[in-house]
Structures are given as structure tokens and as C-alpha cells.
Amino acid sequence: MKPHQIREMEENEIKNSLSESYESLENFRFRHATGQLENYKSLTNTRKDIARLKTIIRERELKINEKLNKKK
């Protein structure tokens, strides 16, 4: 997911996506441990998506984007 896609989402959509990402990360870790994971890049991509989602949530809490938009 790209950051601009996440910023267009509603708060509840972001939280749902975050919980789905955590579930898929758990699934990938389990498959990796059992040797069934074929695409190891999916672990990295899922972790990065979680970080992006949490960053956008935190930005909204601090209202950082609103400050940036006012300067433009």
C-alpha cells in the first residue's frame, strides 16, 4: 500500500487494514517457520505496510497533515 492510498482511507478502514495485516503477518511467520513460505518478500512488505498504517494513524492523532496543508 502506498501512503497516499492510506491517507485517503477513513479511520475505521485503516484500523481494519491494520488488524488484517497483523493476521497475515502471523500467518507468514508460521508458514516461514514450517518451511512453507515461498515468497519471503511478503514478510518484509507486510511489516512495512504495518509501519505505514501506524504512521498515518499517529499523524492523524498529532494532526501533522493539517499543519502541512496550511503551509501550502
Position 68 confidence tier, pLDDT thresholds 50, 70, 90: low
pLDDT, one tens digit per residue, over 26-48 is 999 999 999 999 999 999 999 99
pLDDT, one tens digit per residue, over 8-32 is 999 999 999 999 999 999 999 999 9
pTM of the model: 0.84
- What's the CATH architecture for 3-71? Orthogonal Bundle (1.10)
Give whole-number Cα distances, 57 to 37, 39, 48, 51, in Å: 30, 28, 14, 10
**Contacts with 11 (C-beta within 8 Å, 6 or more apart), sequence order:** 57, 60
Q: What is the DSSP string of 1-70?
A: --HHHHHTS-HHHHHHHHHHHHHHHHHHHHHHHTT--S-THHHHHHHHHHHHHHHHHHHHHHTHHHHHHH
